[in-house]
Amino acid sequence: MQPGEVNFVLGIDVGTTSVKSVLLNNVGVVLASAMKEYTLDSGPDDTCEVHPDVYWNITCKAIHELLAETKVNPELVKGLAFSSQGETLIVVDVDGNPIRKAIVWLDNRSTIEAKEIEDKFGSKLIMDITGQPEVVPTWPATRILWLRKNEPETFQKAFKYLLVEDYLLYKMTGQYHTEHSLISSTLYFNISKKVWWPEMLGYIGISDHQLPQINLSGISIGTLTNKAAQETGLAISTQCVTGAYDHPAGAIGSGSIHSGDVTLTIGGSMAMCVSMEHPVTNHALKLPCQCHAVDGLFFLLPYGQTAGMVLRWFRDEFCCDEARKARKKGLDVYDLIVEKAAKIAPGADGLVMLPHLMGAGSPEFNPEARGVFAGIKMGMTKAHFTRAILESVVCMVNRNMQIMKEQGIVIRDIHVLGGGSKSALWVQILADMTGVPVHTLMISDNAATGAALLAGVGSGLFADLHSACSLSVKSQSCFVPNQMLHEQYKAVYNRYLNLYQSLETYW
């Protein structure tokens, strides 16, 4: 880069129901962002799919929108990287074409195969090697075994098994690459040795030749193909850089790149990223441990399948009037919905929700769990249900924090990311219930920003992640717990726990 020359990088976060992208310059400033939503195909027997072309087509649209809005010369976009959801399985043939819809991480069809794998290897060995304390149908190994048994034609044609970031890297470069953070939850990756687990590959019936090449995050794997350049509007000289699983990408985008740093993402799903220097394979902890996108670090990943997705479902099904008013006034419909919930007292007058619309994540790991409202009574309004949704997601977070506390892991503060971080009410509930300060950042698209920072390091725009984060990450607000409400919320949390426990036999 010549002195005084301005160059750019792209960060693209492919989430569960939307693609978010940012364009970042060489002094760490986000010039513009774009967001495109898409719909998943949910079916019987807990299936959840989407055609892989959706990821690619919306990515292309988002890039075109950024270039059009900023009028940046594509030749000056030096690199790009992806942050992506984990576990979503994409199967391609020898020509790189998908041979079936992607099996989205929310899909629970492979419950039987998950039990079969656990019986074969044992939960302790699986935890020691992969960092996963439970074998659930979320993990790609269970889906591959399901394909082998239920779709033998697909299984025979499969040339590569990819995750979302892997597939998009292939679409950009024509090469098959992946990185440590994304593949840590496949159940066939050894997180300590950083290699594929051969015994698991053998059991599910595939070889390492059917998987992409393993890399660190922030490594350039090549430039764009002519076709990718044409479809994205970028130059063929743009370097494609390995990115990260969305949770460590969000941590990087919030400047949390050291051991002990904690981030919480409330997006479509909920996940925490608790960074540490060594892997934790204590099975009693019952929390996933994975490789970080920062070389040398690991992270605990408490998670829940549905968080902001619950509020989105409620918006779509029950808030048509608010949606019309928002469109008419040019407002965000979520602001109208949450504004009314702020007038409801903590505890929602006894209304409690379980936010498990597609199974429960850590520490229950129960794919059979479902969403529940309990304590409905006359006089309750739509705002009570909204408040109960917000509180339920925070109860889910607090449940995981309590588990970590029992094992001696103390969280002193949290950086909150994702769409939930835009709601002052939601963030304050989080501070009040957990009893720890919660920080928000100037940039809310932290996973996309983290991907952009990795792209900047891999393409030479930034010297390293530390300098990249120093330039780009700025704090916004700190929400301090209200100690009186903290005591009140203990009763709300206990009702949440009791409700779940009382329904375990029902499910």
User: Which pLDDT tens digit goes with each residue over 94-133?
Assistant: 999 999 999 999 899 999 999 999 999 999 999 999 999 8
- Does some domain include residue 327? yes
Give pLDDT, residue 188: 98
DSSP assignment letter at 378 = T
- Does some domain include residue 237? no
Cα–Cα distance between 171 and 95 in angstroms, integer?
A: 11
Tens-place pLDDT, residues 233-246: 999 999 999 999 98
CATH of the domain at 403: 3.30.420.40
β-strands 262-266, 414-417 pairing: parallel
DSSP codes, 120-175: HH-HHHHHHHH--SS--TTSHHHHHHHHHHH-HHHHHH-SEEE-HHHHHHHHHHS-
Supply the Cα-derived Rg of the chain in whole angstroms: 22
The stretches of 459-507 forming alpha helices (DSSP H) are 465-472, 483-503
- Does some domain include residue 376? yes
Ranges of residues in the chain with a pLDDT under 50 are 1
- Does some domain include residue 468? no
Give the range of the structural domain holding residue 390, as residue numbers without chain letter: 270-442+476-503
- Does some domain include residue 109? no
Cα–Cα distance between 79 and 347 in angstroms, integer?
A: 47
Task: Provide the domain count of the chain.
Answer: 1
Give pLDDT, residue 57: 95
Give pLDDT, residue 418: 80
Q: Which residue has the tokens 């010549």?
A: 2
Cα–Cα distance between 189 and 186 in angstroms, integer?
A: 6
- Does some domain include residue 395? yes
Cβ contact 126:183 at 8 Å: no
- Terminal Cα distance for the chain, rounded: 60
Edge-first strand order for the sheet with 47-50 is 41-43, 47-50, 102-103
- Does some domain include residue 406? yes
**Which amino acid appears at position 175 of this protein?**
Q
- CA distances (Å), 174 to each of 8, 167, 200, 451, in order? 23, 10, 27, 20
- Does some domain include residue 166? no
> What are the structure tokens assigned to 170, written together?
């292939």
| Residue 248: its H or E element | helix 246-253
> What are the structure tokens assigned to 322, written together?
């608010």
| Residue 373: its H or E element | strand 372-374
